[in-house]
Amino acid sequence: MNKYQIMKTIVKTLIVFVFLSSSCISITRSTLREPIPPVIEINDCKISSTGAVYLKMFGYIKTDFIPNSVKIMNNDLVIYCDPLVVEDTLKADFILITHSHMDHFSKTDINKLLKPSTILIAPKTVTKKYKHINNHAAIIGAGFNFENIHFEAVEAYNINSGIHKKGNKSVGYVISCDSARIYIAGDTDFIPEMKELKDITVAIVPIGEGKTAMNPQAAGEAVKTINPVIAIPVHYELNQNRESDFMKNVNNLVKVEFLHNFR
């Protein structure tokens, strides 16, 4: 077994434990973060990333990473999902959190984006820490309406690893507005419930290492099942060919857009 294979095995073993202690991981701005991130426009929605981050785990596992942290603008409404190391000064109308792992739930970033009218939608493990603001507990299958926008929490879980268990502690979201339905998968495997998703305009899916969420191959199969107009990959290491692997598995059946310029 060569040095790369040994390191890969160590990463896969430790990733299970890394999120259990904030002392073993730091997340900061990546030097690869683009000053002006790509913006994907579809009808009256604009989708962008809050930027690449730099993960340092156990002091020696280091990687540049595209997180699940996205900003969605629908006319005058501003929605953030899993905001992480955000430099944007635009305050949130809604903040969605998929689960409480620290690369998805950042108190610093939530507090930075809050304004008096902000509504937090998240699992109870998160909302119980924000009783002082407007919040709505994310319950699988339940919806929340605001003017012309509907938010629904959907299943997001791991089938084998058990890192993200089925239930209301880890969720994805479907955001429905006048002209689009945006699916944010969260940390999940390719699960049977994805077959039930209908009329999805944009699918935002993880293409990671396959332990905590789908790898590029599984994500490609998920996208082909969901059949959105556009697929957007997130939650992956840069410079590891995840993007090209994902595109190969989608196989031109769905249009793929990137929130970080892919070269």
- The answer to whether 108 and 136 have CB atoms below 8 angstroms apart is no
What pLDDT sits at residue 4? 56
Say whether pLDDT at 8 is over 60: no
Angstrom distances, CA of residue 216 to CA of 1, 161, 261: 24, 17, 17
Q: Which carries the bigger pLDDT value, residue 163 or residue 66? A: 66
The pLDDT-based confidence of 190 (bands split at 50, 70, 90) is very high
Percent share of the chain, pLDDT over 70: 89
What pLDDT sits at residue 20? 43
- Average pLDDT for 132-161: 92
Angstrom distances, CA of residue 263 to CA of 1, 241, 244: 31, 10, 9
Here the tokens at position 209 are 């290492």
What pLDDT sits at residue 2? 61
E-state strands within the chain:
25-29, 39-42, 45-49, 53-57, 61-66, 70-74, 77-81, 94-96, 119-122, 134-137, 143-146, 149-155, 171-176, 181-184, 202-206, 230-234, 236-237, 255-256
DSSP 140: B
Q: Which domains does the chain have, with CATH numbers?
A: 3-256 (3.60.15.10)
Q: Which carries the bigger pLDDT value, residue 22 or residue 253? A: 253
Q: Which of 188, 180, 227, 229 is nearest to 205 (CA)?
A: 188
The pLDDT-based confidence of 219 (bands split at 50, 70, 90) is very high
- Mean pLDDT computed over every residue of the chain: 90
The pTM of this model reads 0.90
